[in-house]
Structure 1
Amino acid sequence: MVLPGVYAPQEDTALLADALADEALPVAAAVLDVGTGTGALALEAARRGARVTAVDVSWRAVCTARLNAARAGLPLRVRHGNLFTPVLGETFDLVLTNPPYVPSPHGGRRPRGAARAWDAGHDGRLLLDRICRQAPGLLRPGGVLLLVQSALSDPGSTVGQLREAGLKAAVTRRQRIAFGPVVRGREGWLRHRGLLSATDNEEELVVVRAERPV
């Protein structure tokens, strides 16, 4: 179920779900899904017996995730709030996040409505940099962060920042997809900025995996 204004699962969701499927979770693992949207990824973890907390800044997304958990008959703790604020002081075996990552010609203007799910500032890193700073402190020893983003928003910076925080980080998955409506709508601007070449007709998605050493 997807309520109006909530980000529907797309190729980035599926790519992150594939990465999740490859993770060996501890028994009754504590999992956090940040920017849960419909709760699709959180419910995938819950199906594997994890104790899952899902967070979203959108009340519509919170309601959607709760409805989908009820329909699936799966336990899911859903919290409303900005990134990691609702779980301060807690730690997790696995943190999942599909944050906004599309560079925006609107710069630092605060996105409204559905655009909050994709607009991420002039360089696409408005939330990515915050995640890189804050997520390492939520991981237990041996804990893993799985993050999906676009190549348009500099995965190398994500990997570099997570390594500087003491995590073992690398891009573990890549997938090229046709331009969606958001990228297509700002294609000229992205080419002008050099984020797309004159011949690019696809966007590359990547999964970054970062692990806290035991």
Structure 2
Amino acid sequence: MTLPLSLPGVYAPQDDTDLLVTALGREPLAPRADVLDVGTGTGAVALAAARRGARVTAVDISWRAVLNTRVNAVLTRLPLSVVRGNLLDPVADRSFDLILSNPPYMPVPGSRSTDGRPARGVARAWDAGRDGRLVLDRLCRDSPALLRPGGVLLLVQSTLSDEERTLAQLRAAGLRTDVVDRRRVAFGPVLRSRDDWLRGRGLLDRGGDEKEELVIIRAERPRGSR
């Protein structure tokens, strides 16, 4: 994965980004396919799709991330439509052949705001409430309606935020869904700072190694569905 410019305060591409870009590389894309990248950050995933000739829309709630992605689009001379907004809200009236997302999925102790997430700052790129599901549940609820028949959702999350719940929600929405990739990665600074809390909640084995498992979930809307 080619690392794009990462401005201060924007989530820098890490293992989860690389895993999603790798999964994208396995996905067939028709010429000029319409692709959505939700929570684009630096635009790394959006740019990978644009390199394959897709028409890409990138969304992020952070103005800094929107600026970062626009700068990277200029630097790489790749066409991107970059919009600011809350998850799928800016594109609720559109449909896509492929939706990509590396959403916030990290469980966080205590309450940082009314919804359990920080109101601003780079932490909003990973903190997702006490169970790590605040953004994942919204994506599972709202993204199926934006997929065209045969369209695919690819998202990355940690097993700490309950991949089985993601699978169940997407299947309940009528999508053919499975885990298509897994990768164990070393704890970063955020996980190390929450190690005791996560082990106390039973999300990590007491005395276990400092590794978490990331998964890629692929959900496809059957052709012929409405």
Q: TM-score, normalised by structure 2?
A: 0.93
Within a 5 Å distance, the mapping from 1:129-208 to structure 2 comes to 129-198=137-206, 199-208=208-217
In the alignment, what sits opposite 1:29? 33
When the two chains are superposed, the root-mean-square deviation of aligned CA atoms in Å is 0.7
| Distance in 1 between residues matched to 2:19 and 2:116, nearest whole Å | 29
Pairwise CA distance, 1:167: 0.1
In the alignment, what sits opposite 1:125? 133
Unmatched 5+ stretches in structure 2 = none
Pairwise CA distance, 1:200: 3.6
User: 1:131-190 CA distances to partner (integer Å, 9 max, x unpaired)?
Assistant: 000000000000000000000000000000000000000111000000011110100000
Pairwise CA distance, 1:3: 1.0
Could you say what secondary structure the match of 2:143 adopts? helix
The residue type paired with residue 163 of structure 1 is R
**Amino-acid identity (%):** 65
User: 1:98-135 CA distances to partner (integer Å, 9 max, x unpaired)?
Assistant: 00000000244331311100000000001000000000
Could you say what secondary structure the match of 1:175 adopts? strand
User: 1:20-71 CA distances to partner (integer Å, 9 max, x unpaired)?
Assistant: 0000011210000000000000000000000000000000000000000000
1:85 aligns with 2:89: yes
User: 1:47-98 CA distances to partner (integer Å, 9 max, x unpaired)?
Assistant: 0000000000000000000000000001000000000011111000000000
1:10 aligns with 2:14: yes
1:110 aligns with 2:117: yes
Pairwise CA distance, 1:192: 0.2
Mean CA deviation greater in 99-108 or 81-90: 99-108
Could you say what secondary structure the match of 1:213 adopts? coil
Which segments of structure 1 move beyond 6 Å, counting only runs of 4 or more?
Answer: none
In the alignment, what sits opposite 1:64? 68
Aligned residues: 214
| Distance in 1 between residues matched to 2:82 and 2:44, nearest whole Å | 12
The residue type paired with residue 185 of structure 2 is I
| Distance in 2 between residues matched to 1:205 and 1:72, nearest whole Å | 28
Unmatched 5+ stretches in structure 1 = none
| Distance in 2 between residues matched to 1:109 and 1:146, nearest whole Å | 25
Could you say what secondary structure the match of 1:127 adopts? helix
In the alignment, what sits opposite 2:49? 45
Does the 8 Å contact 2:116/2:128 carry over to 1?
no
